Amino acid sequence: MAVDDVSFSVRPNEIVGFVGPNGAGKSTMLKMLSTYLEPTSGTIRVGNANIDTDPVAVRQQIGYLPGDTPLYGDMVVMDWLRFVAGAHSLTGEALGAAVTQVVDTCGVGPVIDKRIHQCSTGFRQRVGLASALIHDPPVLLLDEPTHGFDPLQVMAFRDLLHQLKQDRAILFSTHIIADVEAVSDRVLIIDHGRLLADGTLPHLCDEAGLADPSLELLFAHLVSEIGVEGV
């Protein structure tokens, strides 16, 4: 079982960092939240929509950036964004405005007329983010969003997340502890499919008896408690 007995919520105006070692179940959890995978038991709600009864309503409310940013390499960036916008029922001027907005927000202007396979990893990631944002979703699910970014792009992305936080619930998974410390209001630590911790970093460190509020120390402390090697 990839994920077992995990329960949490993310509220509007909140950025939650999802941390765990490789194979911990982070991506599986995000795939379930995005409706790509069906949970074998339990309930997932996004806003007022239940994933079991109305997955399309859930998909309308989420912007999802999967890990490795799978995109159609042969498509031109502009066509891809227009396709995703169309799938979200945007048409005419609203569609044009949405595309202009995400092109500006995510900085994909330099590659807008290129085919996706011609874009660098960093630009691909930005295109993926732009398509996740195009319908102005109230919930953002980002799986390893800074993968392929250079340090300047990472800093820009952190600023962007802070801007996007307004009225949005953002859940992002990452291996990069500095990203979580820099932008997260709350941290979820997962390992072997089980949620080990859920709370603000200072609170969790207090609970764990750590003098410094360091996610790295907290992570090592929690994961070593259940006897995982190689962390």
Partner 1 sequence: MSDDTPRPRLGWIDAIRLVTKRELCAYFDSPIAYIYAAVFLALSSSAFMNAFFLEAVVDMSSWFERLPYLLIVFVPAMTMRSWAEEHAQGTIEILLTLPLRSAQIVVGKYLAALAFYAMVIAGSLPIVVMLVRLGPADIGTIVAGYLGALWLGAFFLAFGQFVSSLTHNQIVAFVLAALLASLFTFSGHPQVVEIIDGLAPEWQLGSWLATSVSVLPQYESFVRGIVGLGALVYFTSMIGLFLWLTQIGLGRIRR
- Nearest one of 120, 28, 21, 103 to 67, comparing CA atoms: 28
Say how far apart CA 176 and CA 209 lie, in whole Å.
23
The tokens describing 94, both together, are: 């609203």
Say how far apart CA 82 and CA 122 lie, in whole Å.
20
Q: Contact between 167 and partner 1 (CB under 8 A)? A: yes
Which residue in 1, 8, 45, 86 binds partner 1 (CB under 8 A)?
86
Which residue in 1, 87, 208, 226 binds partner 1 (CB under 8 A)?
87
Q: Contact between 88 and partner 1 (CB under 8 A)? A: yes
Say how far apart CA 3 and CA 22 lie, in whole Å.
13
Least distance between partner 1 and beta carbon 165 (Å): 10
Which residue in 50, 61, 105, 214 binds partner 1 (CB under 8 A)?
61
Which residue in 62, 102, 171, 188 binds partner 1 (CB under 8 A)?
62
Q: Contact between 56 and partner 1 (CB under 8 A)? A: yes
Burial zone of 5 (CB within 10 Å; 0-12 exposed, 13-18 middle, 19+ buried): exposed
Least distance between partner 1 and beta carbon 163 (Å): 12
Check if the beta carbon of residue 113 is closer than 8 Å to that of residue 76. Answer: yes
Which residue in 7, 40, 41, 163 binds partner 1 (CB under 8 A)?
40
Q: H helices within the chain, ranges in order? A: 26-33, 55-61, 77-87, 92-106, 121-133, 151-164, 177-183, 201-208, 215-225
The tokens describing 230, both together, are: 């190689």
Q: Contact between 73 and partner 1 (CB under 8 A)? A: yes
Q: Could you say which residues in the range 112-141 bind partner 1, by CB under 8 A?
A: 131, 135-138
Which CB sits closer to partner 1, 21 or 55? Answer: 55
Which residue in 7, 41, 53, 166 binds partner 1 (CB under 8 A)?
166
Enumerate residues 6+ apart whose C-beta is below 8 A from 41.
none
Q: Contact between 68 and partner 1 (CB under 8 A)? A: yes
Q: Point out which residues bind partner 1 (CB under 8 A).
A: 31, 34-38, 40, 56-57, 59-62, 64, 66, 68, 70-75, 79, 83-84, 86-90, 131, 135-138, 166-168
